[in-house]
Structure 1
């Protein structure tokens, strides 16, 4: 990987992974020592042995990294130093000059691979069922410690600092009016940008909104009953509380990464161990991915999943990415004081379905709210057509 200097600030980025690295990856996969089968008939103990064995077999014998590598290389990659750290980003300008600039942020356990399917529809809408007025110029960065971005060597790179870096990036690119979008950590960073209100940011779109009233989230995180003065006004709110309770009881990976990321060193040594850990993000995503390795075709394919995991492996970013959880100081879903225009898309298999009542309270300048018929946590990756339409519709009034 190298950066060729085009200016003192922004440099084109090229990358290449020698065949020897892929051969080493396959050798490590084939040498995996597997554990015994889980003692339950479901996924309550995590990634099941049958799933990870089939993943390993396919990864070592059939999967072709070069396919996604070619897709990545066909895009314009750049790197720039911001606040002492190299930040990688993909920058695709639409041929429609009136396009709205949009910075899109991935999550964990993701990367820019998550956004590959939405790039063409958003930048070239007339070729994908939209109008020229729907066009976006896209900026898709890798978060610090992820993918081709630099790995922080000291603490301090949490969502607030990343949000400020993204604002600097958009300023550096010459964008004086732009929007932001994200899911998972990308949603946290995007909400934080809206809270900071950098010059030029006119609104955001999120598919994991931060709308939970603070008193409710504090009680759920602590495992306590809701305070006596808190009432739930409808079935949507009651369902959201149940969903959030389940999430906070089962995000053990987040607690581990948030407190002891360096103890996960085995993820940098075993590709199959890395895969088993990255697959187990949430119940519904794990179930979807497991079905894909069982031969069912829906949402994510086996190649989709392995494209992302292989990028983690080749860039050796399992631990540097995990440290983001240790840097976070705020609850994941708690409402902030965001007053900028906000568009919200609620997918049915998201970690929780944000009630409209909470959303309207958290975002007083709510310009779009829609509950989708299908899709989960990794919307851009799993349901790109639906997310593209949501971004187009949700941000249309800001043009």
Structure 2
């Protein structure tokens, strides 16, 4: 496990260890998309992690899907995030903002403009979403025009610039978990007949254009992307072409020289090995549900340079110290994952607090 605690160079950063806080939506932003002081405290508590990747941050009004999620495109949002990044940096940490466009995973009751979600095609995910009125069916989204797709790429570019203005060390593009970019990748969500639909090359075009635009804007060494090959939630089905699509996409993204690729692994080990072989830069690997005994295994096997964790870091602000000392881990409280106040957010006990109690 000693590799976990060795410094590593990623993009412009030298990280103190090889552990990453995976992005996790917490739905505690103000309704105008600004993060508050509690958010700054939450992330600063976890600044001993080598790299923090924030919760998904929408790049535009159209990008919002869930209630009380933060944005990074208005002056007020930038000001709010400056408090967060300053708190992290004061503790010696590093942070990438995850730029997340929810696409069709949205409900009008959750967004500022109260309009329908947008997507590659007008196909419903056929699932429900939490709103102020409780669980509701997600409506059929509006299909983006070709010109609107280009504007969405520009929105990502603008949001990346604003993230840097807010003090972020870089941005991670959310290309996973059934949101907009993966909606373009999956034939079940993308039936377009223009240059963004049909062939593997066309379905991968939007992801590549977003990554290219952001790299041009803020530098490839401050740009990253997260992918989840094989995800099948919320109507996403990449079909038999899925592995070939990701082999093509990763090879094209590799040419950009991005800071890192963050893979949420769904179990296809041959595909993971092919991705590792074709990706010549830093790879971060997330295996959902990985037990504590397996921490560090992918580093030792040469499959990744860093490993990311979600719930274990959510529930353990001093995750690094607990691993180094062999201390037990707190259990996460699912009831407080989304929304609420400090409970289940900033009140998880640390080893220091336990000793002084």
TM-score by length of 2: 0.26
**Rg (Cα) greater in structure:** 1
Q: Select the structure that is richer in helix.
A: 1
Structure with more contact order per residue of length (Cα contacts < 8 Å, sep ≥ 6): 1
